Amino acid sequence: MRVSYLIVAATAAAITVPATAQGLRGILRGKLESSVLDVINKPLPVPARKKKDQPPKSETPAEEGQSVPETPAEGTIVVAEDMPVITSDGARVAVVKHTTTGGTSYAPDKTFFTADPYYRLRRIYGREATVRGGAVHLKMTAAQYRARNQNPEG
């Protein structure tokens, strides 16, 4: 973390220097942006859940008066606005955008949008993702996601 503070301090100093240091300022700004992106895209460790921490399974069937939540069709995923998007290598690259409230289901051949930190929209097919633990998990790496344009071949 001390290195990133050093980079921020050097960038701030370079910005206040006259026009002769324009080249250095651009280099420092690029280094700062790349180090911030490295910190943002670093995969987070997921702690393993012990059996004693798992909630007990309910053995009782639903009563007739209760409504049972609908399960989506085979291969269909349900995403909601601002769900995090995580790639197969564990990097959080975007959030889901432009869905209706309450969650929308997407069949394998239907698409939804994701937006990265720079609000670059990318279209994702339902077959390219799964939903686990409140996040959309893509079946592609972070590099493949970033190399993708908005409208992939379908």
**Same-domain status, 85 and 140:** yes
Is 51 domain-assigned?
A: no
Question: Whole domain around residue 120: which residue ranges?
Answer: 73-147
Question: What per-residue confidence (pLDDT) applies to 62?
Answer: 46
Does 153 score more than 90 pLDDT? Answer: no
**Same-domain status, 79 and 143:** yes
Average pLDDT, the chain: 75
Q: Comparing 9-18, 71-80, 90-99, which segment has the lowest mean pLDDT?
A: 9-18
Is 65 domain-assigned?
A: no
**Same-domain status, 35 and 96:** no
Is 8 domain-assigned?
A: yes
Burial (CB count within 10 angstroms: exposed 0-12, middle 13-18, buried 19+), residue 79: buried
Is 62 domain-assigned?
A: no
- Rounded Cα–Cα distance for residues 93 and 110 (Å): 21
Question: What per-residue confidence (pLDDT) applies to 93?
Answer: 94
Give yes or no for a contact between 78 and 131, defined as CB atoms under 8 angstroms apart.
Answer: yes
* Tally of domains in the chain: 2
38-88 tens-digit pLDDT: 666 666 666 666 665 555 555 444 444 433 345 556 778 889 888 999 999
Q: Which residue has the higher pLDDT, 52 or 122?
A: 122
Is 93 domain-assigned?
A: yes
**Same-domain status, 84 and 32:** no
State the SS3 of the chain: CHHHHHHHHHHHHHHHCCHHHHHHHHHHHHHHHHHHHHHHCCCCCCCCCCHHHCCCCCCCCCCCCCCCCCCCCCCCEEECCCCEEECCCCCEEEEEECCCCCCEEECCCCEEEEECCCCCEEEEEHHHEEEECCEEEECCCHHHHHHCCCCCCC
Does 139 score more than 90 pLDDT? Answer: yes
78-92 tens-digit pLDDT: 898 889 999 999 999
Is 125 domain-assigned?
A: yes
Does 134 score more than 80 pLDDT? Answer: yes
Give yes or no for a contact between 109 and 138, defined as CB atoms under 8 angstroms apart.
Answer: no
Q: Tell me, what CATH number does 106's domain have?
A: 2.30.30
**Same-domain status, 85 and 25:** no
**Same-domain status, 94 and 34:** no
pTM (predicted TM-score):
0.51
- Rounded Cα–Cα distance for residues 139 and 85 (Å): 11
Question: What per-residue confidence (pLDDT) applies to 4?
Answer: 67
Is 63 domain-assigned?
A: no
**Same-domain status, 80 and 142:** yes
Question: What per-residue confidence (pLDDT) applies to 76?
Answer: 85
